[in-house]
A and B are shown apart, each in its own frame.
Chain A
Amino acid sequence: MTETVRDTQAQIIESLRKLLKKPMPLGPTTNIVKDLQLDSLAVMDFIMSLEDQFEIVIPLDRVAEVETLGDLALVVDELRGRK
């Protein structure tokens, strides 16, 4: 994992902690749907908030690839790099 991906992941986790109602362990292997107990609307809202946070656009087909926080960090990091 590169430095920038680690940084992106840390920022995503920090944002997620603010969103979640109760504290839970979060890491690269955390499954976004199964582990976080967020409904699908909340997940899409979270993705949109990340778009704003990182000033990027995450196309839906890229979201479809994502299962874990680690996957998400890779996608966000790649899109940040494209700016």
Chain B
Amino acid sequence: MSILSKFAPLRQTYDQLRSVGQNPFEMVFEGMLSSTEGMYRGRKTILLGTNNYLGLTFDEACIEESVAAVRAHGTGTTGSRIANGSYGTHRTLEKSLAQFFNREHCMVFSTGYQANLGMLSTLAGKGDYLLLDSDSHASIYDGARLGHAEVVRFRHNDPDDLHKRLKRLANEPGQKLVVVEGIYSMLGDVAPLREFAEVKREMGAWLMVDEAHSLGVLGANGRGLAEEAGVEADCDFIVGTFSKSLGSVGGFCVSNVEDFDILRVACRPYMFTASLPPSVMASTIMALRRMQEEPQRRKRLHENAERLYYGLRNLGFAVGPQCSPIVSVAVADAPLAVEFWNRLLEGGLYLNLALPPATPTPAPLLRSSISAVHTPAQIDRAVQLFEAVGRQLGVLPPLVNTATRKRVSTPISAPPLAEVAMLASGGIR
């Protein structure tokens, strides 16, 4: 028996997936033509699943900064900041982010995943409580798992349910840290943050908001949901990523909490990994500037999101509960979703296929993320393709809206309960 035998059921599912056509989890593009088009198997393919919200990956100024940095400082830092030291660029990036968010402190991480891993596992220690939205991204669940706090879930986007659970913990001595996301990566729904902030204030808890999908997307200045909801003062910690709106890779946490910098020598996912390379930081700093200089990108992003969301919804597709740059279509079951995804790809459209348990309900999702730089023609082409494939496969006329969170009776899989306990809305990073 192999040490990998335990993955036999996963192997079976995976092989079934591959047998239908292209492998949705091993896509290899021959080249990127722009922020919205790539070459796949010799043909131009519209990219509608890249989280490239502001379309800054090919921004000339960002590229120039990156090239200059790699020439000046080399290709990598070859180690961690506590061992090898920081470059001036690390400090500049942290200062730029702190200034942008109007916060005292900032720490950058090598990925957004690591930002959550680091902050959750370090902030909440033994005897403390982490209260997680049940649809949290895998990085949040994994951060909780890495630390030693008690982990409690509350119902998705339900401040009353959070209140109830905090009340039950009122006599427990530990600190309570509530974690929510600005925009949820699977359905694109937004947290009722004002209400969560009220609960947090009343119950004396701490609040962390993951703005991975809302940085550059929400708020008058693009600072995310906390800005849009007008509750930045209540959000003790904001975490986020550079790999979406800012078009590079890396993660961060900003805060006004006193003595925040002690985390630099306590937070293991920060301390024991190689720091970001100069070229990545340089483009990120410029992207942050571009984002602020060009608020029209955000306006176009929302116009594009509406074009796609309502285009699909009006056809009768089961889209998420609200319009955002993440537009997901739920289909009945995995084989149908895989077939649908393959046909879209054959038609020249790439997006994400999300299968349970990475989805908030047992319904598989065809997940799109729109960009400010998609053209109306590209979006219309996507909607047309969806319609054509939807009719071919009998998905149209409409299914039940995912907002009803309908359950299907057939179990998708039966993982051991230990895995169920750590069930994460796998999400997209």
Contacts and interface: CB of A to CB of B under 8 A. Distances in A.
B134 A48 contact: yes
Nearest to B414: A33
* Top 8 A-B pairs, shortest CB-CB distance: A63-B421, A59-B150, A64-B421, A60-B151, A64-B418, A39-B411, A40-B420, A60-B421
A67 to B, nearest CB: 6
B152 to A, nearest CB: 5
Contacts of A33: 414-417, 420
Interface residues of B, number: 32
B391 to A, nearest CB: 30
A41 B407 contact: yes
A63 B134 contact: no
B356 A39 contact: yes
A38 B150 CA distance: 25
A66 B151 contact: no
Most buried by A among B134, B407, B414: B414
Interface string A31-54: 011100111111110001001100
A78 interface: no
B151 A57 contact: no
A21 B407 CA distance: 12
Given A63-B417, A64-B422, 5 more contacts: A52-B164, A56-B168, A60-B422, A61-B151, A61-B421
Interface string B348-389: 000000001100111000000000000000000000000000
Interface in B102-147: 134, 144
A52 B167 CA distance: 12
Nearest to A60: B151
B202 interface: no
B113 to A, nearest CB: 19
A57 B152 contact: yes
Contacts of B423: 40-41, 44
Interface of B: 134, 144, 150-153, 155, 164-165, 168-169, 356-357, 360-362, 407-409, 411-423
A63 B420 CA distance: 8
A21 B409 contact: yes
Most interface-central of A33, A39, A61, A64 (chain B CB within 10 A): A39
Interface string A9-47: 000000000000100000000001110011111111000
B98 to A, nearest CB: 33
12 contacts: A33-B420, A39-B413, A40-B413, A40-B419, A41-B361, A44-B421, A48-B134, A59-B150, A60-B152, A61-B150, A61-B421, A64-B417
Given A41-B361, A44-B420, A60 B415 contact: no
A41 B168 contact: no
A64 to B, nearest CB: 4
Nearest to A66: B417
A42 B151 CA distance: 19
B155 A48 contact: yes
Nearest to B362: A39
Given A38-B411, A39-B362, A39-B411, A59 B418 contact: no
Contact of B153 (A52, A60, A64): A60
Nearest to B172: A57
A60 to B, nearest CB: 4
A7 interface: no
Contacts of A37: 411, 414
